Amino acid sequence: MTASLGRRIAAEAIGTGLLVTVVVGSGIQAAELSPDVGVQLLANSLATVFGLGVLIALLGPVSGAHFNPAVTLAAWFTGRRTADGLTLRDVAGYVPAQIVGAVGGAVLADAMFGEPLVKFSTHDRSAGHLRLGEVVATAGLILLIFGLNRIGRASLAPAAVASYIGAAYWFTSSTSFANPAVTIGRAFTDTFAGIAPASVAPFIAAQALGAVLGLGAVTAVYGRPGPSAEEVVVPHGEPEPAVS
């Protein structure tokens, strides 16, 4: 039996929130423990890899573990003509939950480290090469997620998606946000992982372009049709636990 929409929305909110808590919290901790920016980025990326992998494995069977509006919208688009695809009602529940969760995750991380609960970031990320990095990071993420489903390897998603994000921290100029909700959430913290509010909209525009290019790459490599949304990021709709 597929989980109810309410439970799936809760999984998306909690998962996205905890993901941002990992990203922001590990950035704060790294900056406090080492003055070296390279060490800070290494610690931040490793924590994100492990945290994201765990969250996908844990919550994927409930909601698909999107944690990302770009993934949700791509899943809706590719599955909109299938019986088990995401509906617009699902999208209308998932996306706000992801954004609210992301903001809550940033606030939680700030609270744990004694930072102001809400202080908008001053970390400017408006340069064009950073936006290009977001296009590349998001396109690669979409290609990976939907490509795994096209070859029947969705079970590898927890390790594969986490590994890709960890690598993209280092091979993209933007350190791979690749997620509109996470981008919004990270604007609410003036710490290592923050992004200035003025940089948010350009980043999201770049991510949207990357998602379109990623879907184009999926079609170019695997042909049509796209995968069912029920298979993204990992297969979900596990049987409900027995109730006595």
CA distance 35 to 62: 40
pLDDT tens for residues 68-112? 999 999 999 999 888 888 999 999 999 999 999 999 999 999 999
Residue 119: inside a domain, yes or no?
yes
Count of structural domains within the chain: 1
Output the pLDDT for position 225. Answer: 63
Residue 240 lies in a domain: no
Residue 217 in domain = yes
Looking at the predicted structure, is the pLDDT value of residue 231 above 80?
A: no
The answer on pLDDT for 184 being more than 70 is yes
pLDDT recorded at residue 80: 87
Domain assignment of residue 186, given as a range: 5-228
In a domain, 238, yes or no: no
Tokens matching residue 99: 């954004």
Q: In CATH, what number is assigned to the domain containing residue 199? A: 1.20.1080.10
Q: How far apart, in Å, are the Cα atoms of 67 and each of 28, 99, 100, 158? A: 22, 9, 11, 13
Cβ pair 177, 16 in contact under 8 A: no
Q: Is residue 239 part of a domain?
A: no
123-175 per-position pLDDT tens digit: 999 999 999 999 999 999 999 999 999 999 999 999 999 999 999 999 999 99
Max intra-chain CA distance, the chain: 58
Task: Give 10's pLDDT tier (boundaries 50, 70, 90).
Answer: very high
